[in-house]
Chains A and B, each alone.
Chain A
């Protein structure tokens, strides 16, 4: 049954904690993200209690897990953060921009530490300076960031080295003392620690020489040993630790107390006065800490009036609040974990593939049964109709599993903009709309880079420096707005800024420099599209951020590859708006199939406007190459698919007699086809996985008969027709 331990309990094998590591890493990552978001949105002048608590809990949670699973570097750093955050949430300190910066920096370091624990290469991040700054902030000192932050830099604290005698115990496990030593030594510059002989049972003594304050030492050591078991005294040579100096606090009668467990019944009864102190206004109560001997040279402590340095208390205030409010609005949305399920993305993709196959098979069935006499096969036909409906419902349902809200994409921007704006010396406010708008996970991954580039562009080239803005009569801070919404079967994502906008003149000039032919009369919309030309950048000074000109054309290409479009709108001096339009999902599309000779092609239904039969007279030729067709007093270019795709024609009696009017990026063209075959949902298959990008083709699909049909790239075709 397992070994029996000393106390007679039956224990199985040692529990392998590594099986929980992955959960911890994911959880820590989420906590870090949430913490970052909360820090960024924190209103420094009127910090919300719930938010402060939530930030604290994020750090606390990571610390707990890190300590439990043995990631001591992570636990150490979060412990330091927790100390600062605890003071913030108790309003012992007021939040400052420097604190936010330091906490954000710490969060970055934590990410790096966690990455290393998950196998990433690289050296352990340096934490000494960071910790020192954080400790200083916790003590109420305003500390400048290493590269010169916003707050006035204060001179580093000059503290003399002190000699201390530290008594630790009673310890059940003396090896804890070794951990203290190791911990002390891990922090460079902390000082020197030396174990001393001590023959009191369960007690361990140290001589410490350090510049750190008692508080700092207590914070450090209480990580391994409860505070009431640490006693610090000024070192006097020859002083022997005596029984009198040992903490007079009644140790809980239960013998396990020193290893962190105890039962309350064994405790001496507390005086009612002390219990009153725990009432909601406990913020003012000072509970005499009999454990820590009077300290030498206390570091300056903020706010709490007249109190000796206090050990951290439990979150009594928060309790009061919790009880008082009937409905607590949590700082972060409570996704009741019990009702969600973590599923590997692979599994979902596999599910979607299988459903896609089902759709194709069902389409095949439908096709083969088209010619069945509905009367003779009434039941079968009815069942097939049911199957059709069920398959569609299933498909919709499955596709929705992959839909995630845009907030996932938006979340990275506050931090990025903050850092970027700081670097560029600009003030930028970031606004989002439509975070809840959902889109397919596959799209999210692909849209992030292009959007990032657009936002960086706005910050770098669009938004002017505060003095420039003021000179123009604008408010000193610029605003970048990111919004997402559904429009029909597309999702539209907009990046808007109130910066200097595009300069028509500069763009025309640059375009001509690059050899592009553009008329001075070209409409604005056309001029703006020029910035998508490869190598195009009108930035006078190429910053290392986004001025290399490699960006916009790649952005456009990436978006087109997703079957989307990019529109630009700008007003010089006022700002710019870039709108990205994408199909809601890559995997399924409503298509119209058409035939050209013996071949079948698919058009995205969303781009089809109308269709009609033509007579030879309605087509007019223009010059050598172009042909136009008249549609209700509007002339539009004709695209002859047979010619573009070099479709072999064997039956000369047949010809393209139908025009399908399509629209892309606001422009219309007419495609010449033989016949319209039908409208249906198609499963979009990637052509580029095993092949390459084919001009004028966006993807492929599998028809009811199992054959492959190409899905046409309408934007590409329309663009070609305009040239």
Chain B
């Protein structure tokens, strides 16, 4: 069973993502911001990171950079959840080392599709 790290400071979003992915058979680990996520990633066996961008303490891009700097997570798929898909966001995301992006709001079922695609 694959494990997904869902990072978002908004509880309602987190729960929604968590519930959605759990119903598709994934194990979901929740984190409230980048720092929390990084700590939890150390001990859980994560197959994919889904992270919001705007969060207190450490945002999505910083988390991505930090994960990429760690041997363990050099090639873990990381998707940034963002509210826009501008060139700037894409470039920043790529520069940080993210695997891809997903624009909010998204349909729950769409999320499952995408996760299935990426995790494979």
Is chain B in direct contact with chain A in the complex (CB below 8 A)? yes
Interface residues of A (CB under 8 A from B): 5, 7, 9, 11-12, 14-15, 17, 19-21, 23-24, 27, 54, 56-57, 60-61, 63-65, 67-69, 222, 226-228, 249, 252, 254, 256-257, 259-265, 267, 270, 274-275, 278, 287, 289, 291, 311-316, 318-319, 322-323, 328, 330-332, 334, 336-338
Looking at the assembled complex, report how far the CB atom of B24 sits from the nearest CB atom of chain A, in whole angstroms.
7
Q: Per-residue 0/1 for B8-37: is the Cβ within 8 Å of any A Cβ (1 yes, 0 no)?
A: 011111011001100110000011100010
Given contacts A64-B105, A262-B85, contact A332 B59 (CB under 8 A): no
Interface residues of B in 46-81 (CB under 8 A from A): 52-59, 61-62, 65
Whether A337 pairs with B32 at a CB distance below 8 angstroms is yes
Whether B36 pairs with A336 at a CB distance below 8 angstroms is yes
Looking at the assembled complex, report how far the CB atom of B28 sits from the nearest CB atom of chain A, in whole angstroms.
14
Which of B12, B58, B89 touches A322 (beta carbons < 8 Å)? B58
- Residue on A with the closest CB to B93? A264
Residues of chain A within 8 A of B98, CB atoms compared: 264
Whether A263 pairs with B99 at a CB distance below 8 angstroms is yes
Bound complex: CA of A572 vs CA of B34, how far in Å?
Answer: 56
Which of B9, B57, B93, B103 touches A261 (beta carbons < 8 Å)? B103
Bound complex: CA of A621 vs CA of B60, how far in Å?
Answer: 81
Chain B interface residue count, Cβ-Cβ cutoff 8 angstroms: 57
Whether A249 pairs with B87 at a CB distance below 8 angstroms is yes
Bound complex: CA of A380 vs CA of B23, how far in Å?
Answer: 54
Which of A11, A267, A334 touches B56 (beta carbons < 8 Å)? A334
Looking at the assembled complex, report how far the CB atom of B18 sits from the nearest CB atom of chain A, in whole angstroms.
10
Which of B11, B61, B104 touches A337 (beta carbons < 8 Å)? B11
Bound complex: CA of A259 vs CA of B12, how far in Å?
Answer: 23
A312-B84, A334-B57 given. 11 additional CB < 8 A pairs? A21-B12, A27-B12, A64-B105, A226-B103, A254-B100, A261-B106, A264-B100, A311-B86, A323-B65, A337-B32, A338-B31
Whether B100 pairs with A228 at a CB distance below 8 angstroms is no
Among A17, A278, A314, chain B packs the most CB atoms within 10 A around the CB of A314
Whether A15 pairs with B99 at a CB distance below 8 angstroms is no
Bound complex: CA of A287 vs CA of B100, how far in Å?
Answer: 21
Given contacts A57-B56, A264-B94, A315-B59, contact A68 B102 (CB under 8 A): no
Q: Is B43 an interface residue (CB 8 A)?
A: no
- List 21 A-B pairs, Cβ < 8 Å: A9-B116, A11-B112, A15-B20, A15-B23, A20-B12, A23-B11, A23-B12, A23-B15, A27-B12, A61-B9, A61-B54, A252-B90, A261-B114, A267-B90, A270-B94, A278-B95, A287-B88, A313-B89, A318-B59, A323-B65, A334-B57
Residues of chain B within 8 A of A226, CB atoms compared: 84-86, 103
Residues of chain B within 8 A of A337, CB atoms compared: 11, 32
Residues of chain A within 8 A of B84, CB atoms compared: 222, 226-227, 311-312
Q: Is B118 an interface residue (CB 8 A)?
A: yes
Looking at the assembled complex, report how far the CB atom of B7 sits from the nearest CB atom of chain A, in whole angstroms.
12
